[in-house]
A and B are shown apart, each in its own frame.
Chain A
Amino acid sequence: MEPNNFEKDFREKLNQRTIEPSNKAWDRLDAMLSIAEEKKPKKNYKWLYIAASIVGFLLVGTFFFNQKKNVVETPKNNVVIEEVAKKDSVVKPTVNRIDSSKIEIAASEKATIKRANTKEANGNPDVSIQKSKQLIQNEKNQIAESSIIIKNNQEKQSISNQTSVVATSKNENVDQLLNTAEKMVVAEHSAKPKSKIKINANDLLNQVDGELETSFREKVITKVNKNYQTVKVALANRNQEE
């Protein structure tokens, strides 16, 4: 391109020129900026609503998640009680062997005996645990299904006052028998692995969990429905306000 002197002259002079705008110009720009700023926050609020609802859902979710944990913990306690009951049963089968004819007799005071037995069992934890293990090994097939265990417990419960009362005279014999039986079972038990007990306990837990979870799911569905309705109403109201 050829140099055009007048163009160069034009450029230099135009680039140096300044024209002071009128005083109103800034006021107008100021007003336009204010309007633009007012528009922006509204959009931000919309995002806030969305964010708040998401946070709300998350909170509800975590709440239910925590609840699930609590639900899981309770069956564990039940299992402990069952184990204690199993410990009781150590005494019972031996009794059963002794007085098999009296097992069928039932009485209302079984529970109190049970409690006493549990206390005894707690008093000698090591012995009782061993006892329970022995028993479980003896009754592997029965323990495999929880229902059977419940039945067993019922059977165990069915030890009546009468048996105990009648047995008082035979207490010495019974204790002797118990001790010998214990020793035998301990001897047997020491040779056998302990892992199977745990598997049984897990099965129990899983079964109980399955039963509990169905009701938990129903709870979640109803609560989520409720929350959804409230959010829906809130959104509808907000739209109307706007």
Chain B
Amino acid sequence: MKIIHLHQEEAEIIKLAVENNRQAQQQIYGRFSPKMLSVCRQYIKDIQLAEDVMITAFMKVFTNLNKFEHKGSFEGWIRRIMVNECISYLRVQKKVKFTEDEIYVEESFNAIDSQFSIEQIQFLIDALPDGYKMVFNLYAIEGYKHNEIAKMLGINEGTSKSQLSHARKMLQTQINTLKKQDNGTE
């Protein structure tokens, strides 16, 4: 019952926000901006730039709100706009180029059980080159498939797979060094 009530409330707020009701817009912003800034931060290391991208993405959310069909989750819809905005930012501003090697090796990783803090995780992701980072975020965190990623980034599916492979390999070595550091301090 509570969920239904919340859903109705959300639909009501969206309806008001479509009509440019500033209070409703602020309510939506207040509810989702912390999570969405976190999403943007995954892709963009500079928190200030991440916030800029989040604001432009929210602009797109509000100007296209009438196109939201209430089919999927509202958060998922906003999140997709955020991710697309981050990708276009990285591609346009940073001119990310993907090395077009289609040879990828699906390596079996050692199961890493160790738990990392969120700061450590972000640190590891930040260390990745933008191309690797995008594919890794889209595949491992957002759950997109390689053909979807290929479409979003305008690359071949093979390139997407090789980028992920490279990203994983890089993360693996970094995790290992972190582990060693941790063991060393202990």
* Chain A positions near chain B (C-beta within 8 angstroms): 2, 4-7, 9-11, 13-22, 25-26, 28-30, 32-33, 36-37
Contact = CB atoms under 8 A, between A and B. Distances in A.
A16 B33 CA distance: 13
B42 to A, nearest CB: 6
Nearest to A10: B121
A14 B34 contact: no
Given A11-B140, A13-B121, A25-B33, 5 more contacts: A4-B109, A5-B111, A17-B118, A21-B34, A37-B20
A10 B140 contact: yes
The 7 closest A-B pairs by CB, nearest first: A18-B34, A19-B37, A7-B140, A6-B112, A17-B38, A19-B38, A13-B118
Nearest to A20: B34
B35 A18 contact: yes
B51 A14 contact: no
A7 B111 CA distance: 10
A32 B55 contact: yes
Contacts of A6: 109, 112, 114, 116, 171, 175
Contacts of B59: 29, 32-33, 36
B42 A14 contact: yes
A4 B140 contact: yes
Interface in B92-129: 108-109, 111-116, 118, 121-122, 125
Contact of B63 (A21, A22, A36): A36
B179 to A, nearest CB: 11
Nearest to B117: A13
A73 B33 CA distance: 72
Contacts of A5: 111-113
Given A6-B171, A28-B55, A33 B112 contact: no
B26 interface: yes
B41 interface: yes
Interface residues of B, number: 39
A113 to B, nearest CB: 79
A25 B36 CA distance: 13
Contact of A19 (B34, B116, B140): B34
A28 to B, nearest CB: 6
B47 A19 contact: yes
Nearest to A22: B51
A22 B34 CA distance: 10
Nearest to B120: A13
Contacts of B140: 4, 7, 10-11
B54 interface: yes
B22 interface: yes
B171 to A, nearest CB: 7
A26 B118 CA distance: 26
Nearest to A15: B141
Contacts of B171: 6
Contacts of A17: 38, 118
8 contacts: A4-B112, A6-B116, A11-B141, A14-B118, A14-B122, A16-B118, A18-B34, A29-B55
B38 A14 contact: yes
A9 B112 CA distance: 10
Residue among A10, A13, A15, A30 with most chain B CB within 10 A? A10
Contacts of A13: 116, 118, 121
Contacts of A26: 26, 29-30, 33
B29 A14 contact: no
B133 interface: no
Contacts of A25: 33, 51, 54-55
A47 to B, nearest CB: 17
Contacts of B22: 30, 33
B29 to A, nearest CB: 6
Contacts of B58: 29
